[in-house]
Structure 1
Amino acid sequence: MNADDSRPGLMDGWLRAVVLVVVVAGSFVEVSLPHRQYGLLVDLFALAAVGVVGASAVLGSEAAETLARQRERLEQQPQPQPPSSAEAPVCRFVNGPAVQQPRPQPPKPKPFLRERPTDLSVPRFGEGARAQGYPWQLPERTVQNGIAADEATVGAFTIRAASVIGPGHRCAQPAEPRQDSYRIGRSRDSRYAIVAVADGVSSAAWSDVGSTTASSRAVTLLRERIDAVGFDKLDAEEVFGRIAESVAGQAAARGVDSSQVSTVLITAVVAEPDANGVAEAWIGWLGDSSAWLLDPQRPLWLFSSGEAKDRAAAVVSNEVAGRLPDTAHLARGHYVRLAPGAALALVTDGIGDAWADQEGNVNAYFANAWRAPVPATRFTADVGFDAPQCLDDRTAVVVWNGGRS
């Protein structure tokens, strides 16, 4: 504390002391003089004045001492330093007015890679398909979802179903719709499980409409035919002929040729197991979608029904001999039997072609993975598998025969 700063405080203290002495002395003189005119009243006021002045002097001196201590503490504290150049406000003066300096910009995010790592949640075979890693695009028109899945129980049967748009359709510019479709259902008394799987022909502009119509109409019509003629008298040509009428109606409603809604179709009706746990199934088909059987004792899916492709040919053709709505008369049907624990799968060629390839291990993987029912999410991930040259839509509906308990 500097001497110059303490001098006013000392002078104030001396001045208050002198005033106090003068007042006290004057008061006693007034009280002691014989010529007092007001007696006791004067004595009381004089003594009160002495008290007030004394209290003021004491409080004033304490306040001065407190102020002095505060000043001393402030002087002992470190003074704030001016900000460094890194912390200084980002502005400078140019010819008078302040100009804000440009602040450093954060780095720009790197663009997404054209190819992403393959999704490890789906099974991968060999080196996979290049298109599997491309971003998913959307078609120009509103279409059905890119992925559909279901699970259900009908009597003794457990059902899983999934349809996933293929890499070749979802990464195109613009993308194409999922041309596969499926429906699952049951009879009114739940004695029969009903399944339909359709695959729109790629060259048809409205094939997704055709496949959706065909699968939906098939389940509805087969339920009606079971009630009308019975399970033992289902006729593929009759059933597919009536389905073709509905598909052709969709073309007419859009003002396009019937070839623009072309689709193939495979259906199945699985009857409740007999006393030995064996279930009989009727399968009707038109085109290259296929039905496969899995014996729990054998680690392979075995081809059962559908238009088989010539694997011995140098180039495997995707052309189909039969399709809806134009060649419904080519539909075929037959009955098969499912032992307890066996499974029946209806699949489009996006899966069937991979299963038919005896050189790969795709069939063996699915035989082990689907030996028993799996959660619908796992089933869907399997349907979305990654394999070389497998770019088409994939759809599978599997019915496991639980037999009789």
Structure 2
Amino acid sequence: MSRDYGRRDGPMGGRWRAALFVAVVIGAFVEISTPHHRYGPLVDVFALAAVGVVGAAAALGFDSAATSPGQRDRLAPEPKPGTAPTICRYVTGPAAPQPPAQAPKPRPFLRERPTDLGVPRFGDGARAQGYPWLLPERTVQNGIAADEATVGAFTLRAASVIGPGHRCAQPAEPRQDSYRIGRSRDSRHAIVAVADGLSSAARSDAGATTASSQAVTLLREQLGTVGFDGLDVKELYGRIADAVAAQATGRGVDTSHLATVLITAVLAEPDANGVARAWVGWLGDSSAWTLDPRDALWRFSGGEAKDRAAAVVSNEVAGRLPDTPQLARDDYVMLAPGAALALVTDGIGDAWADQAGNINEYFANSWRSPVPATRFTADVGFDAPQCLDDRTAVVIWNGGRA
């Protein structure tokens, strides 16, 4: 159909239209110039209208003829036999090749929030650090806890942050660390307890909370009855074990479900030289560290040390509550003016003990003196490879005179 239409409207058709147009115009002028006895104006109007109609038809014919038959053939290819003619007359060219359909690719994981704003990051960090925080199925303690206080010459900062390995698990697990801070009735002693529930125990968060709370309460009692020099670690941990076991009985579960480790400390007011003594008792792998203000590292001072020379560092503990309170041990630590004592769970202690990284050095510089509780908490929530456990730290700075 397109080729037949092209032959009728080719260059010859255009010339015939032009000749017809010229003839009509000449005839119209002759008609207008000839006098008429009747209907003269009406005849003139019809003559001019005829010129307009023929002129418009000629113009349309010239526009159509401006396209050669070959061009129209390329613009509107003739349909193949047995196929319906195309509806669109003008085609811009061959269709661009379309890529084969593909299944949508899964979106790459995007961190819910940046981990390098306010939270110290070491190396590449841990991938789980950026996962969304999920809630456990049961009602548990908060994912973050923090405190700051002053007791006599001592300045305290405390924070506990649920680890990435617990808060983004499926299902999420509760924070299994717990701490308590307190003082003697006369404010001459600061009291600290840090507990770390065992991951293998189904209700270890309850065991840790009970152990830390009971520890501060019972240490205050001992200070009131036997004084600082009479503190008894065996009697203390035995009574704490009884309290944890009672919790298990009340919940109708075995005592192993509330298994936890515990480290405690009591700091006596500084002497005339500004030196303070600290009593430290522990059961399990939570640890005590000291920092001299002139030193660049935190130094291990108490707790169940892990064998870092072993090919695989074991997380198994020799003692735990409430099963083996008789394995508790204690020692005394001296703190010079400006020095600090830190009680930490292994979520921090393991990172400090790893001398291959610079985590210990960072915390030595960051906590050389007391910092606001908000910054302290952000430090405790640090991001580092393979550091997925809960982390808790209580630091006491000796502000005794130099």
Q: TM-score, normalised by structure 1?
A: 0.72
Letter aligned with residue 143 of structure 2: G
CA distance in 2, matches of 1:236, 1:257: 25
Structure-1 residue corresponding to 2:330: 333
Cα offset, 1:112, TM superposition: 10
Q: 1:125 aligns with which of 109, 116, 122?
A: 122
Change (3 A) 1:145 1:111: farther
Contact map agreement 1:281 1:337 (CA 8 A) in 2: yes
- Asked if 1:247 corresponds to 2:244, the answer is yes
* Aligned residue among 394, 398, 402 for 2:399: 402
Shift of 1:307: 0.3
What whole-Å deviation, never above 9, does each CA across 1:19-51 have from its counterpart, x for those lacking one? Answer: xxxxxxxxxxxxxxxxxxxxxxxxxxxxxxxxx
Contact 1:114 1:135 in 2 (8 A): no
Where do 5+ consecutive residues of structure 1 fail to align? 1-109
Letter in 1 for 2:379: D
Corresponding residue of 1:115 = 111
* Bigger CA radius of gyration: 1
CA distance in 1, matches of 2:206, 2:250: 11
Residue 404 of structure 1: how far off its partner (Å): 3.5
Report the CA distance between 1:119 and its aligned residue: 4.4
Q: What root-mean-square deviation, in Å, do the aligned CA atoms of Structure 1 and Structure 2 show?
A: 1.3
Aligned counterpart, 2:308: 311
- Aligned-partner residue type, residue 370 of structure 1: W
Q: Output aligned runs, 1:167-316, within 5 Å.
A: 167-316=164-313
1:341-387 residue CA offsets vs partner (Å, 9 max, x unmatched): 00000000000000000110000000000000000000000000000
User: Which whole-Å CA distance do the structure 2 matches of 1:275 and 1:309 have between them?
Assistant: 37
State the number of aligned residues. 296
Distance in 2 (alpha carbons) for counterparts of 1:130 and 1:220: 40
Query: Do the aligned partners of 1:211 and 1:263 also contact (CA within 8 Å) in 2?
Result: yes
Q: 1:114 to 1:138 in 2, by over 3 A?
A: farther
Give yes or no for contact 1:290–1:347 (8 Å, CA) kept in 2: yes
Q: Which of 140, 145, 148 matches 1:143?
A: 140
The amino acid of 1:144's aligned partner reads: Q
Tell me the distance in 1 between the aligned counterparts of 2:177 and 2:137: 18
**Aligned-partner SS, 1:135:** coil
1:388 to 381, 385, 401: 385
Partner Cα separation in structure 2 for residue 197 and residue 352 of structure 1 = 12
Alignment of 1:368 onto 2:362: no
Query: Contact 1:296–1:341 (CA<8 Å) still a contact in 2?
Result: yes
Q: Following TM superposition, where does structure 1 have runs of at least 4 consecutive aligned residues deviating by more than 4 angstroms?
A: 110-114
Residues 191 and 272 in structure 1, CA contact (< 8 A), matched pair in contact too: yes
TM-score of the superposed pair, with normalisation by structure 2: 0.72
- What amino acid sits opposite 1:138 in the alignment? L
CA shift, 1:113, in A, is 4.7
- Helix, strand or coil at the partner of 1:188: coil
Task: Report the Cα distance in structure 1 between the residues aligned to 2:128 and 2:215, rounded to whole angstroms.
Answer: 33
Secondary structure of 2:135 counterpart: coil
* Contact 1:155–1:191 (CA under 8 A) maintained in structure 2: yes
Deviation at 1:161, TM superposition (A): 0.1
The aligned counterpart of 1:32 is none
